[in-house]
Chain A
Amino acid sequence: MLWFKKEKEKEKINTDTRKTDHPKNVRHLLNQLKRNPDFVHYKHVGGSFSCWISFFSSLINDESIHRDVLPFLYSDKIRSLDDIRKNVPIEKMIRTSDLKEIQTKLMVGFILIQIRENSNNALLIPSVLREGRQIEKSEVETSIIGAKEAFVEAIDTNISLIRKRIPIPQFTVEELRVGKISNTRVCLTYIDGIANEENINTARQRIKDLEIDHLIDTSALSQLISDNARSPFPVFIDTERPDRTTAGLYEGKIAVLVDGSPNALIIPTTLVEFFNAFDDYFVVWHFATAYRLLRLFAVAFSVLSSATYVAVLSFHYQLVPTDLLGALITSRSVVPFSPMVEALILEIMIELLREAGARLPTKVGQTMGIVGGIVIGTASVQAGLTSNVLLILVAMSALAAFTTPNYKMGTTIRFLRFPFIVAANIWGLLGITVCFTFFVCHLLRLTSLGRPFIEPIYPLRLIDLKDSFIRFPYSHQTERPMFLRPGDPSRFDYKRSKKRAGIQQNDIDE
């Protein structure tokens, strides 16, 4: 208990020093900033006008300041700050004497111009440097057909990527600031009129109420604003694809962008959407449905296969088909461990391989994955540490887990196995059932922005089932998901779309 007291005392000291560090006036601020080598602060003395110019050379656009700002300052027409305002061809200049504003604007790339060094009366000229990565191909959510563009770290570029795809005035971008120190730009984007008002308000409120010093990424934001922080399941999808984000916006969802993060957060989402790849919309609905069902099966297999192996081999020998008994017993007979230990060894080994592969540079990682998998797998069977039947099962379940299109959900799926394996070792198939029930109960209670997380299943919404485990043809998807309670529920008129399909239209050459 003594620890907490100490912490509190330390905190007190910290806050005290911070208080003294806070600049009280412009002179104080400038003196503080002058310590930085990239801070430029000098007096310009012209024929008719002299002033103090200060800016961060690392934050301003070098080219623009020499072309658009400084030549005008040196001209003879300028006699006061107001003259600068009239003559410099840059929009959105700010005339202020507010110390706080001066400080924040300086830190994002404005040029500060004062008549006297200590004067609070100042003019701020925007000359923000926008430098960042080029728009590149999506790396995480790759697709074979369809758009290849992916978000970058610069939030303005990301907004432009979305706005290009939604050319209507109703597309709204709301800017919020998050982080006591970092003051990170967070943009809430939605289509006004389609997105549900309540959803927008909830999202805005949750982001505004965040008590945090700095925000790094959308992933952090998604954890911070999620409905249940203790849940292993992610409740918001983060995507690096602008086309997927746009599709979500058109359905009535909200996309949240964070400056410095190449991902958009789509809220709210259902569990089923985590298993839908955006590629599904590019292939015919038969195959899209087949792939979605395949993924669903893969998830079930991945979570339950090794646990079922443990349960059947430890308790339910009656369930093993007679012809399989021989194979199982001979492969098990040299293994000194119980089925659970054996399964845990292999599962942890696969996790190690995956983790090492993810941390290593791409080229080394690939080699290590393949060689490590084959060598360690085969060797551990030959050494009698694991049975080869289990090796196949574990490898296949690892493979199945990787079919999950969302990386975060894939991680959850992979780790769900471990409680299942332990439960299987305790009570066999009954244990698996108990564990499964536990997770189903948890999912039933889980919400995403206050909306039920496993929605098309419970509560049952037939309209939303049309685009869940199965995908109906586009002509049948007449309504936006009921889950979102959109302002305008219908996408298009079903009768008219049917009529158009029904009429035998002549080709142009007939």
Chain B
Amino acid sequence: MIAQKFEYTAPKSLDEALHLLASGAKPLAGGMSLIPMMKLRLAAPEHLVDLRTIKDLNYIREAGGQLHIGATASHYEIESSALLRQKCPLLTETAAAIGDVQVRNMGTIGGSVAHADPAADYPAALQALEAKFVLNGAKSERTVSAADFFVDAFTTTLEPGEILREVIVPIDDARTGTSYQKMVQPASGFAIVGVAVRVRQNARKVSFARIGVTGLSNHAYRATAAEKALEGKTPSANDIQNAAALVAQGVDANSDLHASADYRKHLAAVHAARAIKSAISRIT
């Protein structure tokens, strides 16, 4: 398992990194996907720019009524953040469900989101949270919504030379409940399917529902039909089942060694129902 020869730079500042990336280098964060691909020689970047040495990419903070998470915040840092646990528990719950301890210590939110593995956990939560991603190039900065960011398997709207610098998520009030439910692929720890739910109730009526689904198709998406089926209702067990049944509707489901398309669709509905129930039960 020996990678091809490559150059490696560990810049101290974001500007320096963006300058190198503009000339064709590839960014390295936790290395949880890139390094194995390089060892198998499925990827052979000539130049790696390590983002972990840039101090001001690693933060989790509240500002302007929103939560800002730097690209190199590790899954463990997110999972154990007191601020996030209080103000965005969906993200800590999702981070805690990723892979195993070693992966959570090394992997970063920016790396995971930018890699856009169709079975990654974060994208489901970030879709449900309607997260925004700040993307920086050497001479540019733009903000893209999660809904627009994920294009296809391993494909995003990131342009060559751009990095995902920051993830922005909202702070919900106490009438909001969230839950992430996942079926684990036992070898990789990725999601066979994962469903993130965020619901708000007003006088027991669902005033707002957001459902993100990962693992089922080529990229994570929001199950808007299921959301609409919940909104305006004081959902009975039946209503929840019916809404959950809509999450996989019309989706061209993935099929592989670990789960057929039919089974994945079925699991998506099961986990959606479980996540909706759990999210509602968490509303204080």
| B and A form one assembly | no
Residues of A within 8 A of B (CB): none
Residues of B within 8 A of A (CB): none
